[in-house]
Structure 1
Amino acid sequence: MFGRRQFAKAMGVAAFAVPAIGRAKKFPAGRVTMVVPFPAGAATDISARVYAERLSAIWGQPVVIDNKGGGNGIPAAESVARAKPDGLTLFATSAMTQVVNPAIYDKLPYDPIADFAPISRMGTSPFVLLVDRNSPINTAAELTAKLKAEPGKHNYGAGALPARVASELYKMAAGVDAVYVGYKSNPQAIPDVQSGLLTFMMIDTVNAKIAMDRGALKGLFVTDSERYAAVPAMPTAAEAGLPEVLLTTWTGFYAPKGTPAEIVDRINADLYAVSAMPEVVERLAALGGTPKLMRPAEFAAFASAEKERWGQIIRRANIKVE
């Protein structure tokens, strides 16, 4: 049985480096609203609820999830950007709103950097290249060969723009052609992979694990530098011969710009405390995720670099708003 230090070490978080002043600051009284720019059941929503439940216990006040799905997360992001910066409105979001939207929209009603106070990264999640469980295709090389032999005759699906970006990155690296089919959410595309309407799809590890556990789909590779711990037999993209396909989406916590630094630091400290809880580690691991928190300044620098990287891929793939 691991102790807290061992869990923290395994997670890569400095659970015992929490500033005492951050933990001592009294949290603002009132109901905390945690806005999630995706519907209930989405990967970001699932992780946010794990944190919200424990933060509510720490603060002794309700932390309520407000799912504002749709519009590629724009309405949700705008609502947080315009909210009162008192610590009672938080944004549990993903790379979608902070680094993908700025690259595909000429104009947004929010600024992903100027309108938010970064609190911490929540976690990271690579993508998995998936085909139907009963498909004769068992490797990325076999899929690539099929797509090259029949250019323009195959479709792929994505319900979220990050998954589409990952798919386009695979297409560019492999030199293949496939037609994009859009869905409202990634899980909605799964039945069409099974029916043969879609030849493949890329999806985050949380939903990929669910689909693989159900026996619906099988994974050909993961877009990370290391193998996916939940499916250790599945190779990385580099091991599958496509080292360029290295892309990881992420989730994180923000507050409206102007939220006092002492409140941001307090939330950051409590997020670290929650991430050190064994049941949280186990719960997120079961979903295929791992807490990878950051201090506010570190998270701000990370998000800025990610904005540039994702933007380069999106421009190269010529992904436009439809």
Structure 2
Amino acid sequence: MHSKRLGTLSAAITRRDMLGSGAALVTASALGTPVWGQEKYPSREVRVICAFPAGSGADVFARYFAENMRPFLGGTVIVENKVGASGNLAINFAARAKPDGYTILIHAPSAIAANMSLFKDPGYDAAKAFDVLGSVCRLPFTVTVGAKSPHKTLQDLIKTLQQKGDKASYGTTAPTGQVAGALMKDILKLKMVEVPYRTAADSVNDLESGNIDCMMYDPIFAMPFHRNGKMRVLALSSKERMTTAPDIPTMNESGVPGVDVVGWWGVAVPKGVPEPIKAQISKAFIQMAEKPETKKWLAEFGSDPFIVGPEDAQKLMLQDIKDWGRYVKIANMEPKG
């Protein structure tokens, strides 16, 4: 009888241990902890892909987040610049990367969506190529002039652009700026000519010398120059003023009605990354974004906090695909070949 009870007890312990092990396995998997046959993530360098060159606003942004994600992700994070085709080169590189969590795109999901309409063949389908794992901030583009420019307001600039006709010019370096500038041109029936620059830094001398009338810069690049007096931001492309730059009026307020073109920045990975790894990347990104130091840093660049998780971020990118199709039509922009 004693032997029979011992056998029953032994069987109960075995079942209990097996159930406990199974629960531990599920928990470990959900947390990204290595389980049988799996390596810990990250076990090697994680590459953050940046779509623009070193020194650009996008590069400053990507490097800040790469550096500050490290302690939350628990591994080494390096930045690689893949420059070309208005950011499309980097987006395609990331879309085709092995979906193992070791290639991350820190970029504007709004730009990923925009390129679906800005290019005849962007080389990827935004809805199918990426999972957006979170967002950190919104950034309108800026209408910016050089420090020596006589124009103190957007209305001052508009009068000059009207007088110069097709001798007037505006510079762009990214899709959001292209659309903001094209909308301004279309709404006001201006004849100004777009001058595309490979990078924002490439345009500085032309802006300072007056060879170009104004630039459509991202605020990450423009705001530090604005604050130190080396450039002057006249207006923002958002519908409402930014809470972090309340002194700068919008294009709507300044005589260009109907403009509300805002980019937002986040983190994306190619489709197919395992769910536990996506959860780990998303958590690290959002934890870093919620730091007071991060919010203060972002405020210096004229961006408003916009922290959302994977589900909402993915929905927003899908909505942006539709919105940018509309923007491009309104602005009468011809998709690039």
User: Is TM (by shorter chain) over 0.5?
Assistant: yes
SS at match of 2:265: strand
The structure whose residues are more often helix, as a share, is: 2
Aligned to 2:308: 294
Counterpart-to-counterpart distance in 1, 2:308 and 2:147: 37
Q: Is 1:310 aligned to residue 324 of structure 2?
A: yes
What pairs with 1:221-260 in structure 2 (closer than 5 Å)?
A: 221-229=235-243, 231-260=245-274
Equivalent position to 1:46, from 48, 52, 60: 60
Code of the aligned partner of 1:67 = N
- Whether the 8 Å contact between 2:48 and 2:103 is mirrored in structure 1 is yes
Equivalent position to 2:202, from 179, 188, 191: 188
Counterpart-to-counterpart distance in 1, 2:59 and 2:132: 18
Code of the aligned partner of 1:123 = C
1:288: how far off?
2.8
Counterpart-to-counterpart distance in 1, 2:267 and 2:183: 27
Q: What is the alpha-carbon root mean square deviation over aligned residues?
A: 2.3
Name the CA shift for 1:113/1:159 in 2 (closer, same or farther; >3 Å).
same
Q: What are the superposed Cα offsets for residues 15-35 of structure 1, whole Å, 9 maximum, x if unpaired?
A: xxxxx9998433442211111
Equivalent position to 1:77, from 83, 91, 97: 91
Equivalent position to 1:133, from 134, 147, 157: 147
Code of the aligned partner of 2:116 = P
Q: Which deviates the most, 21-30 or 208-217?
A: 21-30
Code of the aligned partner of 1:122 = V
- Whether the 8 Å contact between 1:223 and 1:245 is mirrored in structure 2 is yes
Aligned to 2:192: 178
Aligned to 1:59: 73
1:119: how far off?
0.8
Counterpart-to-counterpart distance in 2, 1:35 and 1:113: 19
- Whether the 8 Å contact between 1:119 and 1:264 is mirrored in structure 2 is yes
SS at match of 2:128: coil
Q: What are the superposed Cα offsets for residues 162-205 of structure 1, whole Å, 9 maximum, x if unpaired?
A: 21211111112222220111211123222212211111121111
Name the CA shift for 1:146/1:216 in 2 (closer, same or farther; >3 Å).
same
Counterpart-to-counterpart distance in 2, 1:55 and 1:21: 21
Q: What are the superposed Cα offsets for residues 44-63 of structure 1, whole Å, 9 maximum, x if unpaired?
A: 22222222222212233101
- The structure whose Rg is larger is 2
Aligned to 2:336: 321
Moved over 6 A (4+): 20-23
Q: What are the superposed Cα offsets for residues 233-263 of structure 1, whole Å, 9 maximum, x if unpaired?
A: 3212222132312111122211111112222
Q: Is 1:25 aligned to residue 37 of structure 2?
A: no
Counterpart-to-counterpart distance in 2, 1:191 and 1:277: 36
SS at match of 2:127: coil
1:315: how far off?
2.8
Counterpart-to-counterpart distance in 1, 2:274 and 2:116: 26
Counterpart-to-counterpart distance in 2, 1:72 and 1:44: 12
Counterpart-to-counterpart distance in 2, 1:192 and 1:168: 20
How many residue pairs get aligned? The number is 303
1:229: how far off?
4.5
Equivalent position to 2:113, from 91, 99, 113: 99
Q: What are the superposed Cα offsets for residues 139-178 of structure 1, whole Å, 9 maximum, x if unpaired?
A: 2222222222332121111122321211111112222220
Aligned to 2:37: none
SS at match of 1:250: strand
Q: What are the superposed Cα offsets for residues 190-225 of structure 1, whole Å, 9 maximum, x if unpaired?
A: 221221111112111111112213423212211223
SS at match of 1:135: coil
Counterpart-to-counterpart distance in 1, 2:201 and 2:29: 39
1:279: how far off?
1.8
What pairs with 1:198-237 in structure 2 (closer than 5 Å)?
A: 198-229=212-243, 231-237=245-251
Q: Which deviates the most, 91-100 or 198-207?
A: 91-100
Structure 2 residue runs of 5 or longer lacking an equivalent are 1-26, 34-40
Aligned to 1:111: 125
- Whether the 8 Å contact between 1:35 and 1:91 is mirrored in structure 2 is yes
Give the TM-score normalised by the residue count of structure 2: 0.82
- Whether the 8 Å contact between 1:193 and 1:201 is mirrored in structure 2 is yes
Name the CA shift for 1:23/1:213 in 2 (closer, same or farther; >3 Å).
farther
Counterpart-to-counterpart distance in 2, 1:87 and 1:116: 12
Identity %: 28
